[in-house]
Structure 1
Protein backbone atom coordinates (compact mmCIF):
# COMPACT_ATOMS: atom_id res chain seq x y z
CA UNK A 1 0.00 0.00 0.00
CA UNK A 2 2.86 2.40 0.74
CA UNK A 3 5.10 1.44 -2.19
CA UNK A 4 2.85 2.85 -4.92
CA UNK A 5 2.58 6.41 -3.48
CA UNK A 6 6.33 6.48 -2.84
CA UNK A 7 7.04 5.35 -6.41
CA UNK A 8 4.63 7.90 -7.87
CA UNK A 9 6.17 10.68 -5.80
CA UNK A 10 9.69 9.71 -6.86
CA UNK A 11 8.66 9.75 -10.51
CA UNK A 12 7.01 13.17 -10.15
CA UNK A 13 10.03 14.70 -8.45
CA UNK A 14 12.36 13.19 -11.06
CA UNK A 15 10.20 14.48 -13.93
CA UNK A 16 10.07 17.94 -12.35
CA UNK A 17 13.87 17.96 -11.99
CA UNK A 18 14.33 17.00 -15.64
CA UNK A 19 11.94 19.74 -16.76
CA UNK A 20 13.65 22.24 -14.46
CA UNK A 21 17.10 21.50 -15.89
CA UNK A 22 15.89 21.95 -19.46
CA UNK A 23 13.94 25.13 -18.63
CA UNK A 24 16.94 26.66 -16.87
CA UNK A 25 19.16 26.10 -19.91
CA UNK A 26 16.53 27.46 -22.32
CA UNK A 27 15.98 30.63 -20.26
CA UNK A 28 19.74 31.18 -20.10
CA UNK A 29 20.01 30.99 -23.88
CA UNK A 30 17.02 33.27 -24.46
CA UNK A 31 18.36 35.91 -22.06
CA UNK A 32 21.58 36.10 -24.05
CA UNK A 33 19.49 37.20 -27.03
CA UNK A 34 17.93 40.07 -25.08
CA UNK A 35 19.47 43.45 -24.16
CA UNK A 36 22.07 44.26 -22.98
CA UNK A 37 23.44 41.22 -24.89
CA UNK A 38 26.10 39.93 -22.53
CA UNK A 39 28.87 37.85 -24.08
CA UNK A 40 28.54 34.19 -23.00
CA UNK A 41 32.28 33.65 -23.52
CA UNK A 42 33.60 36.48 -21.36
CA UNK A 43 30.70 37.54 -19.12
CA UNK A 44 29.59 35.68 -16.00
CA UNK A 45 26.13 34.14 -16.08
CA UNK A 46 25.14 36.27 -13.09
CA UNK A 47 25.42 39.37 -15.29
CA UNK A 48 22.18 38.26 -16.92
CA UNK A 49 20.42 39.19 -13.67
CA UNK A 50 21.50 42.84 -14.15
CA UNK A 51 19.58 44.80 -16.76
CA UNK A 52 16.01 45.28 -17.96
CA UNK A 53 15.36 41.53 -18.06
CA UNK A 54 17.35 40.69 -14.97
CA UNK A 55 14.21 39.68 -13.07
CA UNK A 56 13.87 36.69 -15.41
CA UNK A 57 17.34 35.46 -14.47
CA UNK A 58 16.52 35.89 -10.80
CA UNK A 59 13.46 33.70 -11.29
CA UNK A 60 15.74 31.26 -13.08
CA UNK A 61 18.04 31.12 -10.05
CA UNK A 62 15.02 30.29 -7.89
CA UNK A 63 13.98 27.69 -10.46
CA UNK A 64 17.41 26.05 -10.23
CA UNK A 65 17.01 25.89 -6.47
CA UNK A 66 13.61 24.23 -6.87
CA UNK A 67 15.05 21.80 -9.42
CA UNK A 68 17.84 20.90 -7.00
CA UNK A 69 15.40 20.05 -4.22
CA UNK A 70 13.33 17.96 -6.65
CA UNK A 71 16.49 15.97 -7.40
CA UNK A 72 17.13 15.55 -3.67
CA UNK A 73 13.54 14.39 -3.09
CA UNK A 74 13.80 11.88 -5.94
CA UNK A 75 17.13 10.59 -4.62
CA UNK A 76 15.73 10.34 -1.11
CA UNK A 77 13.09 7.87 -2.26
CA UNK A 78 15.55 5.64 -4.10
CA UNK A 79 17.60 2.82 -2.61
CA UNK A 80 19.00 2.49 0.91
CA UNK A 81 19.88 5.57 2.96
CA UNK A 82 23.66 5.20 3.06
CA UNK A 83 26.15 7.70 4.45
CA UNK A 84 27.19 8.70 0.93
CA UNK A 85 23.60 9.45 -0.03
CA UNK A 86 22.84 11.42 3.12
CA UNK A 87 26.01 13.54 3.01
CA UNK A 88 25.72 14.08 -0.74
CA UNK A 89 22.10 15.15 -0.40
CA UNK A 90 22.95 17.66 2.33
CA UNK A 91 25.72 19.15 0.21
CA UNK A 92 23.40 19.31 -2.77
CA UNK A 93 20.87 21.12 -0.58
CA UNK A 94 23.54 23.71 0.25
CA UNK A 95 24.07 24.20 -3.48
CA UNK A 96 20.32 24.61 -3.99
CA UNK A 97 19.99 27.17 -1.21
CA UNK A 98 22.92 29.13 -2.64
CA UNK A 99 21.22 29.24 -6.04
CA UNK A 100 18.10 30.68 -4.46
CA UNK A 101 20.05 33.28 -2.48
CA UNK A 102 21.65 34.57 -5.70
CA UNK A 103 18.26 35.90 -6.76
CA UNK A 104 18.36 38.47 -3.93
CA UNK A 105 21.93 39.78 -4.30
CA UNK A 106 22.95 41.18 -7.67
CA UNK A 107 26.43 40.70 -9.10
CA UNK A 108 28.71 43.64 -9.86
CA UNK A 109 28.98 44.02 -13.64
CA UNK A 110 32.30 45.20 -15.06
CA UNK A 111 32.55 48.16 -17.40
CA UNK A 112 31.93 47.68 -21.11
CA UNK A 113 34.98 46.20 -22.82
CA UNK A 114 36.45 44.81 -19.60
CA UNK A 115 36.67 41.12 -18.71
CA UNK A 116 36.65 39.02 -15.59
CA UNK A 117 35.06 39.57 -12.20
CA UNK A 118 34.67 42.96 -10.59
CA UNK A 119 33.51 43.30 -6.99
CA UNK A 120 32.75 46.84 -5.86
CA UNK A 121 29.73 46.55 -3.54
CA UNK A 122 28.73 44.52 -0.49
CA UNK A 123 25.87 43.03 -2.50
CA UNK A 124 28.21 41.96 -5.28
CA UNK A 125 30.63 40.45 -2.76
CA UNK A 126 27.85 38.38 -1.17
CA UNK A 127 26.77 37.21 -4.62
CA UNK A 128 30.30 36.12 -5.53
CA UNK A 129 30.90 34.19 -2.30
CA UNK A 130 27.48 32.54 -2.36
CA UNK A 131 27.92 31.52 -6.00
CA UNK A 132 31.36 30.08 -5.25
CA UNK A 133 30.03 28.12 -2.27
CA UNK A 134 27.16 26.81 -4.37
CA UNK A 135 29.46 25.52 -7.11
CA UNK A 136 31.83 23.86 -4.63
CA UNK A 137 28.99 22.27 -2.64
CA UNK A 138 27.32 20.95 -5.81
CA UNK A 139 30.57 19.43 -7.07
CA UNK A 140 31.30 17.77 -3.72
CA UNK A 141 27.73 16.45 -3.69
CA UNK A 142 28.11 15.01 -7.19
CA UNK A 143 31.28 13.17 -6.22
CA UNK A 144 29.60 11.52 -3.22
CA UNK A 145 26.30 10.81 -4.93
CA UNK A 146 28.01 9.41 -8.02
CA UNK A 147 29.88 6.98 -5.77
CA UNK A 148 26.53 6.08 -4.19
CA UNK A 149 24.97 5.57 -7.62
CA UNK A 150 27.75 3.13 -8.47
CA UNK A 151 26.67 0.93 -5.55
CA UNK A 152 22.92 1.33 -6.06
CA UNK A 153 21.34 -1.64 -7.88
CA UNK A 154 18.53 0.53 -9.24
CA UNK A 155 20.74 3.32 -10.57
CA UNK A 156 23.99 1.58 -11.49
CA UNK A 157 23.27 2.08 -15.20
CA UNK A 158 23.35 5.84 -14.63
CA UNK A 159 26.88 5.74 -13.23
CA UNK A 160 28.75 6.43 -16.54
CA UNK A 161 26.66 9.54 -17.27
CA UNK A 162 26.82 10.75 -13.67
CA UNK A 163 30.60 10.32 -13.65
CA UNK A 164 31.02 12.08 -17.00
CA UNK A 165 28.97 15.11 -15.91
CA UNK A 166 30.77 15.22 -12.55
CA UNK A 167 34.12 15.33 -14.36
CA UNK A 168 32.78 18.03 -16.72
CA UNK A 169 31.55 20.13 -13.80
CA UNK A 170 34.91 19.69 -12.07
CA UNK A 171 36.83 20.66 -15.20
CA UNK A 172 34.62 23.70 -15.63
CA UNK A 173 35.11 24.77 -12.02
CA UNK A 174 38.88 24.30 -12.25
CA UNK A 175 38.92 26.28 -15.50
CA UNK A 176 36.83 28.98 -13.85
CA UNK A 177 39.45 29.39 -11.15
CA UNK A 178 42.24 29.61 -13.69
CA UNK A 179 40.45 32.12 -15.93
CA UNK A 180 40.00 34.52 -13.02
CA UNK A 181 43.76 34.86 -12.74
CA UNK A 182 45.08 34.14 -16.21
CA UNK A 183 42.36 34.40 -18.88
CA UNK A 184 39.47 36.60 -17.70
CA UNK A 185 38.18 36.87 -21.26
CA UNK A 186 37.17 33.19 -21.04
CA UNK A 187 35.47 33.34 -17.64
CA UNK A 188 31.95 33.04 -19.03
CA UNK A 189 32.85 29.99 -21.09
CA UNK A 190 34.43 28.22 -18.09
CA UNK A 191 31.40 28.95 -15.93
CA UNK A 192 29.01 27.63 -18.54
CA UNK A 193 31.02 24.41 -18.91
CA UNK A 194 30.56 23.94 -15.16
CA UNK A 195 26.84 24.66 -15.49
CA UNK A 196 26.46 22.12 -18.29
CA UNK A 197 28.00 19.55 -15.94
CA UNK A 198 25.64 20.54 -13.12
CA UNK A 199 22.47 20.57 -15.22
CA UNK A 200 23.53 17.46 -17.13
CA UNK A 201 24.14 15.53 -13.90
CA UNK A 202 20.76 16.55 -12.49
CA UNK A 203 18.95 15.60 -15.71
CA UNK A 204 20.76 12.27 -16.18
CA UNK A 205 20.27 11.13 -12.58
CA UNK A 206 16.64 12.25 -12.49
CA UNK A 207 15.99 10.41 -15.75
CA UNK A 208 17.55 7.24 -14.32
CA UNK A 209 15.44 7.52 -11.17
CA UNK A 210 12.30 7.99 -13.25
CA UNK A 211 13.12 4.92 -15.33
CA UNK A 212 13.85 2.86 -12.21
CA UNK A 213 10.43 3.54 -10.71
CA UNK A 214 8.02 0.83 -11.93
Structure 2
Protein backbone atom coordinates (compact mmCIF):
# COMPACT_ATOMS: atom_id res chain seq x y z
CA UNK A 1 0.00 0.00 0.00
CA UNK A 2 2.93 2.34 0.61
CA UNK A 3 4.00 1.91 -3.01
CA UNK A 4 0.60 3.10 -4.23
CA UNK A 5 0.70 6.09 -1.88
CA UNK A 6 4.22 6.79 -3.16
CA UNK A 7 3.00 6.71 -6.76
CA UNK A 8 0.26 9.22 -5.97
CA UNK A 9 2.78 11.37 -4.11
CA UNK A 10 5.18 11.21 -7.06
CA UNK A 11 2.55 12.47 -9.50
CA UNK A 12 1.46 15.22 -7.09
CA UNK A 13 5.08 16.19 -6.43
CA UNK A 14 5.73 16.51 -10.15
CA UNK A 15 2.85 18.97 -10.58
CA UNK A 16 3.68 20.96 -7.44
CA UNK A 17 7.38 21.35 -8.23
CA UNK A 18 7.00 22.30 -11.87
CA UNK A 19 4.43 24.95 -10.84
CA UNK A 20 6.78 26.22 -8.10
CA UNK A 21 9.64 26.29 -10.59
CA UNK A 22 7.42 28.33 -12.93
CA UNK A 23 7.32 31.02 -10.24
CA UNK A 24 10.95 31.07 -9.13
CA UNK A 25 13.07 30.25 -12.20
CA UNK A 26 14.61 33.44 -13.62
CA UNK A 27 14.38 34.11 -17.37
CA UNK A 28 11.86 31.30 -17.79
CA UNK A 29 8.45 31.80 -19.38
CA UNK A 30 5.94 29.07 -18.46
CA UNK A 31 3.59 30.27 -21.20
CA UNK A 32 6.18 29.60 -23.89
CA UNK A 33 8.75 27.20 -22.39
CA UNK A 34 8.29 23.47 -21.94
CA UNK A 35 8.47 22.01 -18.42
CA UNK A 36 11.73 20.25 -19.35
CA UNK A 37 13.40 23.54 -20.22
CA UNK A 38 13.31 24.54 -16.53
CA UNK A 39 16.15 22.02 -16.07
CA UNK A 40 18.44 24.14 -18.27
CA UNK A 41 20.74 26.68 -16.66
CA UNK A 42 21.01 27.99 -13.10
CA UNK A 43 18.66 26.29 -10.67
CA UNK A 44 17.89 23.60 -13.23
CA UNK A 45 18.76 20.91 -10.71
CA UNK A 46 15.32 21.39 -9.08
CA UNK A 47 13.45 20.36 -12.22
CA UNK A 48 15.91 17.55 -12.96
CA UNK A 49 15.47 16.20 -9.43
CA UNK A 50 11.71 16.56 -9.83
CA UNK A 51 11.75 14.34 -12.92
CA UNK A 52 13.97 11.71 -11.28
CA UNK A 53 12.30 11.50 -7.84
CA UNK A 54 8.75 11.66 -9.21
CA UNK A 55 9.56 9.12 -11.92
CA UNK A 56 11.09 6.66 -9.46
CA UNK A 57 8.13 6.95 -7.07
CA UNK A 58 5.71 6.34 -9.95
CA UNK A 59 7.73 3.42 -11.34
CA UNK A 60 7.94 1.84 -7.88
CA UNK A 61 4.14 1.87 -7.62
CA UNK A 62 3.79 -0.19 -10.78
CA UNK A 63 4.23 -3.58 -9.09
CA UNK A 64 1.40 -2.82 -6.65
CA UNK A 65 -0.74 -1.49 -9.51
CA UNK A 66 -0.16 -4.73 -11.45
CA UNK A 67 -1.50 -6.70 -8.49
CA UNK A 68 -4.35 -4.34 -7.69
CA UNK A 69 -5.62 -3.14 -11.07
CA UNK A 70 -4.44 -4.83 -14.27
CA UNK A 71 -1.07 -6.20 -15.24
CA UNK A 72 -0.92 -3.97 -18.33
CA UNK A 73 -1.81 -0.85 -16.39
CA UNK A 74 1.04 -1.61 -13.99
CA UNK A 75 3.48 -2.18 -16.84
CA UNK A 76 2.47 1.03 -18.56
CA UNK A 77 2.83 2.99 -15.32
CA UNK A 78 6.31 1.45 -14.92
CA UNK A 79 7.23 2.83 -18.37
CA UNK A 80 5.68 6.18 -17.47
CA UNK A 81 7.81 6.48 -14.34
CA UNK A 82 10.99 5.11 -15.88
CA UNK A 83 10.69 7.46 -18.87
CA UNK A 84 10.12 10.42 -16.57
CA UNK A 85 13.16 9.51 -14.44
CA UNK A 86 15.39 9.05 -17.49
CA UNK A 87 14.21 12.38 -18.88
CA UNK A 88 15.41 13.95 -15.63
CA UNK A 89 18.86 12.38 -15.88
CA UNK A 90 19.43 13.54 -19.47
CA UNK A 91 18.83 17.26 -20.15
CA UNK A 92 16.67 18.54 -22.97
CA UNK A 93 17.71 20.94 -25.69
CA UNK A 94 16.25 24.46 -25.65
CA UNK A 95 13.14 24.77 -27.82
CA UNK A 96 13.40 25.47 -30.68
CA UNK A 97 16.77 23.80 -31.12
CA UNK A 98 18.77 24.49 -34.25
CA UNK A 99 20.42 21.10 -33.88
CA UNK A 100 19.26 18.29 -31.60
CA UNK A 101 22.01 16.90 -29.39
CA UNK A 102 22.27 13.25 -28.31
CA UNK A 103 21.18 14.11 -24.76
CA UNK A 104 18.31 16.14 -26.17
CA UNK A 105 17.26 13.22 -28.37
CA UNK A 106 17.39 10.77 -25.44
CA UNK A 107 15.37 13.20 -23.31
CA UNK A 108 12.76 13.60 -26.04
CA UNK A 109 12.43 9.84 -26.62
CA UNK A 110 12.22 9.13 -22.86
CA UNK A 111 9.59 11.85 -22.40
CA UNK A 112 7.60 10.58 -25.38
CA UNK A 113 7.67 6.99 -24.10
CA UNK A 114 6.53 8.24 -20.68
CA UNK A 115 3.65 10.23 -22.17
CA UNK A 116 2.48 7.53 -24.58
CA UNK A 117 2.59 4.93 -21.80
CA UNK A 118 0.49 7.17 -19.57
CA UNK A 119 -2.07 7.68 -22.33
CA UNK A 120 -2.22 3.92 -22.99
CA UNK A 121 -2.61 3.27 -19.24
CA UNK A 122 -5.74 5.42 -19.30
CA UNK A 123 -7.30 2.96 -21.74
CA UNK A 124 -6.21 -0.20 -19.93
CA UNK A 125 -7.34 1.20 -16.56
CA UNK A 126 -10.77 2.02 -18.01
CA UNK A 127 -11.44 -1.72 -18.06
CA UNK A 128 -10.55 -2.22 -14.37
CA UNK A 129 -13.67 -2.38 -12.20
CA UNK A 130 -15.39 -0.22 -14.76
CA UNK A 131 -18.00 1.98 -13.20
CA UNK A 132 -19.53 4.32 -15.74
CA UNK A 133 -17.88 7.45 -14.33
CA UNK A 134 -14.45 5.79 -13.93
CA UNK A 135 -14.52 4.48 -17.50
CA UNK A 136 -15.61 7.86 -18.84
CA UNK A 137 -12.90 9.64 -16.84
CA UNK A 138 -10.15 7.29 -18.10
CA UNK A 139 -11.26 7.51 -21.72
CA UNK A 140 -11.67 11.29 -21.58
CA UNK A 141 -8.16 11.80 -20.22
CA UNK A 142 -6.72 9.26 -22.68
CA UNK A 143 -8.20 11.22 -25.59
CA UNK A 144 -7.75 14.73 -24.18
CA UNK A 145 -4.03 14.53 -23.36
CA UNK A 146 -2.82 14.00 -26.95
CA UNK A 147 -5.37 16.46 -28.35
CA UNK A 148 -4.33 19.20 -25.94
CA UNK A 149 -0.67 18.51 -26.71
CA UNK A 150 -1.40 18.86 -30.44
CA UNK A 151 -2.93 22.26 -29.70
CA UNK A 152 0.43 23.23 -28.23
CA UNK A 153 2.20 22.10 -31.37
CA UNK A 154 -0.24 24.17 -33.43
CA UNK A 155 0.38 27.26 -31.26
CA UNK A 156 4.11 27.08 -30.40
CA UNK A 157 4.20 30.54 -28.79
CA UNK A 158 1.98 29.12 -26.01
CA UNK A 159 3.39 25.58 -25.94
CA UNK A 160 4.17 25.85 -22.22
CA UNK A 161 0.52 26.41 -21.29
CA UNK A 162 -0.70 23.49 -23.41
CA UNK A 163 1.99 21.16 -22.08
CA UNK A 164 1.19 22.09 -18.49
CA UNK A 165 -2.47 21.40 -19.14
CA UNK A 166 -1.61 17.92 -20.49
CA UNK A 167 0.63 17.32 -17.46
CA UNK A 168 -2.07 18.35 -14.99
CA UNK A 169 -4.67 16.19 -16.80
CA UNK A 170 -2.39 13.14 -16.99
CA UNK A 171 -0.76 13.33 -13.57
CA UNK A 172 -4.06 14.11 -11.82
CA UNK A 173 -5.53 11.03 -13.50
CA UNK A 174 -2.54 9.00 -12.28
CA UNK A 175 -3.13 10.26 -8.72
CA UNK A 176 -6.78 9.14 -9.02
CA UNK A 177 -5.69 5.71 -10.30
CA UNK A 178 -3.18 5.24 -7.47
CA UNK A 179 -5.75 6.30 -4.84
CA UNK A 180 -8.41 4.05 -6.36
CA UNK A 181 -5.98 1.13 -6.23
CA UNK A 182 -5.05 2.06 -2.66
CA UNK A 183 -8.73 2.00 -1.62
CA UNK A 184 -9.20 -1.32 -3.38
CA UNK A 185 -6.19 -2.77 -1.52
CA UNK A 186 -7.48 -1.48 1.81
CA UNK A 187 -10.90 -3.06 1.20
CA UNK A 188 -9.30 -6.35 0.24
CA UNK A 189 -7.11 -6.37 3.35
CA UNK A 190 -10.04 -5.59 5.66
CA UNK A 191 -12.18 -8.37 4.15
Normalised-by-shorter TM-score class: 0.7 to 0.9
Q: Which moved more, 1:186-195 or 1:67-76?
A: 67-76
**Residues 1:118 and 2:125 are matched in the alignment:** no
| TM-score (norm. length: structure 1) | 0.76
8 Å CA contact 1:14–1:71 kept in 2: the answer is yes
For the pair 1:188 / 2:160, whether they are aligned, the reply is yes
- Farther off after superposition, 167-176 or 125-134: 167-176
How many positions carry a matched residue from both structures?
185
Taking the aligned partners of 1:201 and 1:131, their CA distance within structure 2 comes to 18
Match of 1:137 in 2: 117
Distance 1:138 1:28 in 2: 18
Unaligned runs of at least 5 residues, structure 2? none
The equivalent residue for 1:177 is: 150
Unaligned runs of 5+ in 1: 1-9, 80-84, 111-116, 151-155
Q: Separation in 1 of the partners of 2:149 and 2:38?
A: 18
Q: 1:49 to 1:141 in 2, by over 3 A?
A: same
Higher CA-based Rg: 1
Matched, 1:25 2:15: yes
Task: After superposition, give the CA deviation of every residue in 1:65-114 in whole Å (9 maximum; x if it has no partner).
Answer: 123224323323326xxxxx22232222222211111122211114xxxx
